[in-house]
C-alpha cells in the first residue's frame, strides 16, 4: 500500500518525507494556488524533496494544449506524473502521452467506466475521488472497489489512487479495497501516528521503568 501526500505545501511535504513512509505527492490547481508560488519552481522543489512520483496537473482543456503542457511539465523532473482531467479530450491526450512514455494520472474519476477508459488509454494512475462522492450522498468507496475488480479482471497495470480522502477511515477502507495507493492531506497523515492508548501505554512503561532506578 503506497501513501502519497495530497498537498503542494513544502513544509508539510518536508515533515511527512522525514518519516520515510511517503511514496509520492499529488497536487492540483487549487492546492498549488494556495501556495502563491510560481508553478514550475514549486513543482521542481517538491520533486527534489520527494524523489518519487509527483502529480502536476495541466490547465488546458483541449488535447493539443494538454500534450504541450505535459511535455513541458515532464521536462521539469523525471519524477513528474502529468495529471490530466477525465474528459474525452483528456483521454486522447493520455493515449498519445502513454505512447511517448509520459506518465499520467487521470483525475476527477467519478464512475467505473471513466476509470476503464483511462486504463485502456494507458494511464499510469487513475484517481477516483471518494470524498466528493460521499459529500453528495454516494458511496465513494464502492467506486474504488468496482475499479479494483475491473482492473483485476483484465490485468490492467494502471494503478488506483484513492483521492479526495476526508478522514482516516477512508485510508483504512482504501487499504482493505486492494487499491494501490491512497493520497492524503497532511492532517490525515498526522493522524496515522496517534492513539490515546499508545500515549497512556508509553507513559505507564516509562513510569514503571523509573521505579527500577530508585
Ligand atoms: C488528488 O489527486 C485530488 O486532487 C484531491 O485528493 C482532491 O481532494 P478534495 O476533494 O479534498 O479537493
pLDDT tens-digit readout, 23-76: 999 999 999 999 999 999 999 999 999 999 999 999 999 999 999 999 999 999
Q: Which domain holds residue 50?
A: 2-212
- Reduced DSSP (H G I as helix, E B as strand, rest coil) percent helix, strand, coil of the chain, to 5: 55, 20, 30
Atom 8 of ligand 1, nearest CA residue: 164
Cα–Cα distance measured from residue 6 to residue 11, given in angstroms and rounded to the nearest whole number = 13
Atom 6 of ligand 1, nearest CA residue: 164
Q: Cell numbers 488546458 correspond to what residue?
A: 60
- Please tell me the pTM assigned to this model: 0.96
Cα–Cα distance measured from residue 143 to residue 114, given in angstroms and rounded to the nearest whole number = 11
The answer on pLDDT for 141 being more than 80 is: yes
What's the 203 CA to ligand 1 centre distance in angstroms?
A: 37
Q: How confident is the model at residue 214 (pLDDT cuts 50, 70, 90)?
A: low
Atom 4 of ligand 1, nearest CA residue: 28
What's the 163 CA to ligand 1 centre distance in angstroms?
A: 6
Cβ-count burial of 196 within 10 angstroms (0-12 exposed, 13-18 middle, 19+ buried)? exposed
What integer is the mean pLDDT of 115-142?
98
What's the 93 CA to ligand 1 centre distance in angstroms?
A: 21
Domain count for the chain: 1
Q: How confident is the model at residue 192 (pLDDT cuts 50, 70, 90)?
A: very high
- What's the CATH code of the domain at 37? 3.20.20.70
The answer on pLDDT for 157 being more than 90 is: yes
The answer on pLDDT for 212 being more than 90 is: no
Amino acid at each position: 500500500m503506497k501513501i502519497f501526500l495530497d498537498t503542494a505545501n513544502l513544509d508539510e511535504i518536508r515533515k511527512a518525507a522525514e518519516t520515510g513512509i511517503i511514496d509520492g505527492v499529488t497536487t492540483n490547481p487549487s492546492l498549488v494556488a494556495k501556495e502563491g508560488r510560481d508553478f514550475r519552481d514549486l513543482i521542481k522543489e517538491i520533486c527534489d524533496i520527494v524523489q518519487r512520483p509527483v502529480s502536476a496537473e495541466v490547465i488546458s482543456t483541449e488535447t493539443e494544449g494538454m500534450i504541450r503542457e505535459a511535455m513541458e511539465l515532464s521536462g521539469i523532473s523525471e519524477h513528474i506524473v502529468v495529471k490530466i482531467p477525465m474528459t474525452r479530450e483528456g483521454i486522447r491526450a493520455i493515449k498519445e502521452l502513454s505512447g511517448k512514455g509520459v506518465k499520467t494520472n487521470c483525475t476527477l474519476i467519478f464512475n467505473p467506466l471513466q476509470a476503464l477508459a483511462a486504463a485502456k488509454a494507458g494511464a499510469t494512475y487513475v484517481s477516483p475521488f471518494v470524498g466528493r462522492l460521499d459529500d453528495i450522498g454516494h458511496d465513494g468507496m464502492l467506486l474504488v472497489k468496482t475499479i479494483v475488480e475491473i482492473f483485476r479482471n483484465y490485468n490492467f497495470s494502471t494503478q488506483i489512487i484513492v483521492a479526495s480522502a476526508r478522514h482516516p477511515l477512508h485510508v483504512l477502507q482504501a487499504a482493505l479495497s486492494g487499491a494501490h495507493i491512497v493520497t492524503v492531506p497532511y492532517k490525515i497523515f498526522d493522524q496515522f501516528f496517534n492513539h490515546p492508548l499508545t500515549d497512556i501505554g508509553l507513559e505507564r512503561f516509562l513510569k514503571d521503568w523509573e521505579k527500577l532506578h530508585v
